[in-house]
């Protein structure tokens, strides 16, 4: 294996550190403290790619350049292709003239995964988010044949978006490209299992390894059967290989896992294994794998409603997990470090070169002769990051925030996250001189500084500072007095499409709201650290730095944690009133209540529970009774969950709640129940995620449920103006069009 830069000579390190400590940026001073102001994150302008030809179902050779798709239909992004497990898309992507000379790539989102090909060659596999690197230096009119094999494992498949992006920064492009090609190493412990013998219905003796199943069908992952309240059988003999993904697995513990909609029962060598709840089941095959060992698996798949689907099957080898974790940590470190390149003025060119050299070294991993050699290779690659890591220590980049939390008439909390541990300082004041400060010397990555002793209804200016780096100068207003008019924005379901969410955020900012309120599904998977930055804090940054943010938990925040469990990243990233999972606050003459139905499944807030008792107490509180307007927020629409209908709706009516905001269904809808004096129910699920079919609302509007007078599948937000005893409500789409309006008076 070629190794030309495993070690950096001493003089090279000395030179890099000299450059690091002497590079020049325009230092500024406020209240006697020197700092460097971070550059704002600038999102590239996307160019939508439309008019895709598509075909539902698998088609041989659909990725080839000379494939004839003239008989296919056409569709634009935000296209729902239904329950088919496969849908092909093809497009000749032409580089616009204004991207000439730039590095160009394509961002795509497919629900829920796909394979992408460029000019007949496979580019990569992706889950939800795909990034296709087309050229480091484009010429106007360059054409690339892009084919996407969309894969749908449950619900409806969806081509959410496809957009061309360009940058003049060739270094950033090369770093991102190399990172994408290193991602397979993070999946190295997993081996998918396909080619199952399949039989629909009950089969006598199906769990017996000796049964002759040679006449059964052969099926792969995403096989679907359409009969409700039915079952099927899947059978396969697993033989332990010598190597998996190029690495020896002798002595490894091996786990078999399967996901079936709705559930599965596993039999190993004819013996039943414990029945798991939910779609996922797994069993330990062996604690000490030996090549040639075999295991016979029989799986009974059960479907209760709609379609039964074989969502996924595979083997996981524990011996390879440390290597996967090492690769994931390395990529996470690169992700943070590359922020130095676009947030510090005049960055040292050596930083980008060091990251490219490091990634180039790491990408030699397929030639490693053993797991240990691959681990050493990654360690050596990480060593090449020394100059950049030293820079990050001195200049801790703010990778999230600053953002505002828990505003009251006399206090507010300012939060941000840095890529390396550092101190926390806030300079602030009622004038731009910023003559006050609050600080903590504790070395942390997630920073939280609470300012107290503030004046009500007062504009303050501030900077968030860690190490030598400061945010831009931002501002906030403390909570207003009871009779002062105020305005808030509210939305939900911004997950999965950061670009669309940022467009929505940019549409909200000119209205200068006093509060920003979210009703859940901020991110695709709450347990994924990366999603919190990519999907929520970065696209929302320009609103959150000047507008206090209050959020609710959605089912996707519980992704990876499970209903009823703690959502750890939520706890770390937010400072909210009460216990934070459900809470209330007052603003002006209004009372706000955020609830959390996800403490159990099916979703609901049950009598006798801690949350239910707290809610009764809050609804009976003087703060709620004295409020002119009462707002309640929770994620799932009340009339779509039986437990909410039974236990929560009567409380909302009894205590004269003005408006109930939810999301979950990706549309806008408004209705009232009961008329004419009951709460007004708003579904505001169009924050940025892929849109739903509005007909689903009509199906739910039965005689014992609120009749939704308005519904529209569109990206949007809601804007509420409170002026004493007058409430003006508007729903505004991402293009600025008014889609609904309502005025209430007391």
pLDDT of the residue at 32: 53
pLDDT of residue 155: 75
First to last CA, the chain: 78
**CB-based burial of residue 77 (10 Å sphere; 0-12 exposed, 13-18 middle, 19+ buried)?**
buried
Measured over the CA atoms of residue 116, residue 498, residue 356 and residue 2, the dihedral's sign is negative
Of the candidates 179, 63, 39, the one whose C-alpha atom is nearest the C-alpha of residue 114 is 63
Are 450 and 439 a contacting pair, CB within 8 Å? Answer: no
Left if phi > 0, otherwise alpha if psi is -120 to 50, otherwise beta: which for 562? left
* Integer Cα distance of 468 and 461 in angstroms: 19
Could you tell me where the DSSP H helices lie in 30-105?
A: none
User: What sign does the dihedral 193-197-198-204 (CA atoms) show?
Assistant: negative
Three-state DSSP class for residue 300: strand
- pLDDT value for 309: 87
User: Which residues, in sequence order, are CB contacts of 274 under 8 Å at separation 6+?
Assistant: none
Task: From 316, 360, 337, 363, select the one nearest 185 (Cα to Cα).
Answer: 363
Q: Which residues contact 453 (CB under 8 A, 6 or more apart)?
A: 410, 411
Structural domains of the chain ordered from first start: 10-37+338-390 (no CATH), 47-168 (2.60.120.260), 192-320 (2.60.120.260), 396-479 (2.60.40.380), 486-745 (3.60.21.10)
Angle between helical axes of 170-182 and 321-337 (0-180°, round to 10):
170
pLDDT for position 342: 85
* Spans of the chain below 70 pLDDT: 1-33, 276-277, 693-706
């Amino acid at each position: 294996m070629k190794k030309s830069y495993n070690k950096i000579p001493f003089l090279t390190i000395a030179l890099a550190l000299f450059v690091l400590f002497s590079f020049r940026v325009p230092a500024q001073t406020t209240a006697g403290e020197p700092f460097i102001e971070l550059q704002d994150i600038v999102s590239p302008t996307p160019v939508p790619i439309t008019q895709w030809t598509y075909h539902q179902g698998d088609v041989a050779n659909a990725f080839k350049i000379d494939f004839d798709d003239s008989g296919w239909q056409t569709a634009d992004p935000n296209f729902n292709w239904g329950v088919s497990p496969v849908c092909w898309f093809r497009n000749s992507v032409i580089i616009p003239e204004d991207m000439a000379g730039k590095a160009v790539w394509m961002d795509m989102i497919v629900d829920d995964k796909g394979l992408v090909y460029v000019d007949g060659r496979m580019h990569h596999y992706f889950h939800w988010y795909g990034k296709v690197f087309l050229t480091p230096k484009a010429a106007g009119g360059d054409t690339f044949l892009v084919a996407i094999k969309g894969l749908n494992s449950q619900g409806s498949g969806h081509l959410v978006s496809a957009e061309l992006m360009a940058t003049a920064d060739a270094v950033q492009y090369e770093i991102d490209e190399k990172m994408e090609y290193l991602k397979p190493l993070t999946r190295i412990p997993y081996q998918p299992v396909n080619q199952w013998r399949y039989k629909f219905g009950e089969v006598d003796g199906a769990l017996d390894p000796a049964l002759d199943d040679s006449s059964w069908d052969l099926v792969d992952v995403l096989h679907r059967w359409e009969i409700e309240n039915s079952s099927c059988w899947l059978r396969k003999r697993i033989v332990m290989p010598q190597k998996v993904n190029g690495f020896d697995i002798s002595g490894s513990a091996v786990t078999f896992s399967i996901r079936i909609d709705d559930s599965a029962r596993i039999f190993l060598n004819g013996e039943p294994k414990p029945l798991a709840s939910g779609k996922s089941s797994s069993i330990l095959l062996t604690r000490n794998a030996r090549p040639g060992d075999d295991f016979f698996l029989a799986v009974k798949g059960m479907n209760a409603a709609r379609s039964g689907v074989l969502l996924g099957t595979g083997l996981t080898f524990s011996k390879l997990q440390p290597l996967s974790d090492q690769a994931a940590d390395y990529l996470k470190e690169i992700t943070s470090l590359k922020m130095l390149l676009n947030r510090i003025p005049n960055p040292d060119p050596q930083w980008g070169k060091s990251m490219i050299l490091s990634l180039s070294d790491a990408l030699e991993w397929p030639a490693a002769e053993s797991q240990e050699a691959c681990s050493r290779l990654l360690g050596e690659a990480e060593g090449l990051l020394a100059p950049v890591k030293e820079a990050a220590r001195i200049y801790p980049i703010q990778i999230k925030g600053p953002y505002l939390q828990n505003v009251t008439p006399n206090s507010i909390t300012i939060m941000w996250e840095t890529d390396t541990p550092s101190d926390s300082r806030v300079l602030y004041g009622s004038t731009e001189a910023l003559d006050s400060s609050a600080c903590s010397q504790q070395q942390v990555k997630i920073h939280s500084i609470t300012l107290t002793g503030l004046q009500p209804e007062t504009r303050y200016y501030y900077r968030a500072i860690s190490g030598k780096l400061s945010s831009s100068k931002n501002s906030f207003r403390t909570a207003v007095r009871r009779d002062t008019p105020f305005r808030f924005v509210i939305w939900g379901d911004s997950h999965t499409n950061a670009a669309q969410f940022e467009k929505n955020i940019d549409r909200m900012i000119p209205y200068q709201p006093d509060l920003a309120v979210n009703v859940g599904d901020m991110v695709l998977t709450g347990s994924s650290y990366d999603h919190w930055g990519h999907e929520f804090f970065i696209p929302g940054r320009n609103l959150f730095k000047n507008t206090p943010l209050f959020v609710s938990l959605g089912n996707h925040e519980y992704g990876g944690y499970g209903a009823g469990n703690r959502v750890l990243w939520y706890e770390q990233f937010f400072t909210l009133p009460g216990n934070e999972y459900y809470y209330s606050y007052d603003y002006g003459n209004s009372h706000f209540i955020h609830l959390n139905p996800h403490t159990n499944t099916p979703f609901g807030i049950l009598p006798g529970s801690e949350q239910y008792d707290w809610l009764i107490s809050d609804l009976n509180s003087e703060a709620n009774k004295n409020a002119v307007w009462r707002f309640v927020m929770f994620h799932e629409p009340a009339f779509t969950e039986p437990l909410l209908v039974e236990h929560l709706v009567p409380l909302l009516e009894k205590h004269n709640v003005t408006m109930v905001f939810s999301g979950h269904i990706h549309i806008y809808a408004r209705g009232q129940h009961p008329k004419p004096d009951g709460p007004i129910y708003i579904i505001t699920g169009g924050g940025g995620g892929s849109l739903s079919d509005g007909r689903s609302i009509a199906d739910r509007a039965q005689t014992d449920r609120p009749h939704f007078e308005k519904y529209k599948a569109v990206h949007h937000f809601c804007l509420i103006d409170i002026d004493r005893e007058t409430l003006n409500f508007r729903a505004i789409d991402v293009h600025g069009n008014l889609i609904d309006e309502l005025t209430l008076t007391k």
